[in-house]
Amino acid sequence: MSKLPTPSEILGQSFHFLPQESQLLLITSVLGTSPSWLTYSLLHHSLTNGENVVFVSFINEFAYFREGGKRHGLDLPSHLKKGTLTFIDGFSRLFLPSAPSQAPSLPPTASAPPRVGVIPSRGGPITPRQTQQPQSAATSTDPIKYISLGPSPSPSALRQLDVIKSTLQKLGSTGVKPKLVIEGLEVLIAAAGVDVRVVEDLVYDLREISSTTTILLPSDSVLLQTSPSSTPLELSHANLVISLGHTADAILSLRLLDTGVAKDISGVLKVTRGAGNLGETGGIVEEKEMLFYESDAGVRIFARGSGGH
């Protein structure tokens, strides 16, 4: 089995102070680095400790994480079955015409109906039904819930996102708030045209009903550095990343090695303390910069100059 660094190795001892109310952990990455291993590390930690995790992805399907998790010795399907993991798939059907829950686990047949023409008003009447349906379907057969905004997302279609909220609330009603991992929020802004304030509001709402929220976002300089010629696309992305960065309790950022290409280094992992309230509760995120290397044998993090051997 390939080895992954544990969250406390990454975040320092203060990680143990993390599982509190509405913590926010921001993970940023650039093109060419994949933050998946950080996700697996966090999931592994939470799931083996028996915590409930709600995992939302707008850019990958469950099979992707299933395969990746398997490689790192993380059996996501069994956690899914046990109910400790809830996967909300905002990727597979996000812009497909809302398909009723028919054979969702059989991909090849799933998109047979979308041949139907694209009618903008379609989102309206269907929305309420859709919000109910994934839930009922989820409890009965398919543990994966789907978000579908339809081919031309209207503001009313955003109610689809409530499935995240209701899932969290349902899990939280037992007393312990679940953890939340969201990947690909940028898709909502960039592709679905959702206003950045709506997304930020959504994050705040979700943080209230979850314990630790982990958000993964791309942070390429192209997307963050705004100039007078920036389009709303870049401005709203920068807005989202920066505002989340300012409220986060810790920021993990992955980037490529500044000096170019190295054979035994995949990139740089930087841990930064956010402006959040972690300090008040005893834990302090130790700010540091480490190198990481992803290989067949797993991921290793090591200090600069230690060679990683």
By CB under 8 A, is residue 50 in contact with other proteins? Answer: no
By CB under 8 A, is residue 228 in contact with other proteins? Answer: no
Binding positions for other proteins, 235-274, rule CB under 8 A: 237, 256-257, 260-261, 263-264, 266
From 20, 131, 230, 277, residue interacting with other proteins (rule: CB under 8 A): 230
Give 187 or 198: the residue with its C-beta nearer to other proteins. Answer: 187
By CB under 8 A, is residue 44 in contact with other proteins? Answer: no
Q: Could you tell me the smallest distance in angstroms from the CB atom of residue 145 to other proteins? A: 16
283-302 mask for other proteins (x: CB under 8 A)? -----------xxxx-----
Give 33 or 211: the residue with its C-beta nearer to other proteins. Answer: 33
Contact 135, 145 (CB under 8 A): yes
Residue 104 to residue 144: CA distance in whole angstroms: 9
Binding positions for other proteins, 75-94, rule CB under 8 A: 75, 77-78, 80-81, 91-94
From 7, 69, 123, 283, residue interacting with other proteins (rule: CB under 8 A): 69
118-157 mask for other proteins (x: CB under 8 A)? x-x------------------------------xx-----
From 20, 96, 162, 268, residue interacting with other proteins (rule: CB under 8 A): 96
By CB under 8 A, is residue 233 in contact with other proteins? Answer: yes
- Total residues contacting other proteins (rule CB under 8 A)? 74
By CB under 8 A, is residue 107 in contact with other proteins? Answer: yes
By CB under 8 A, is residue 33 in contact with other proteins? Answer: yes
Among the residue ranges 15-23, 32-40, 161-169, 278-286, the one whose residues contact other proteins (CB under 8 A):
32-40
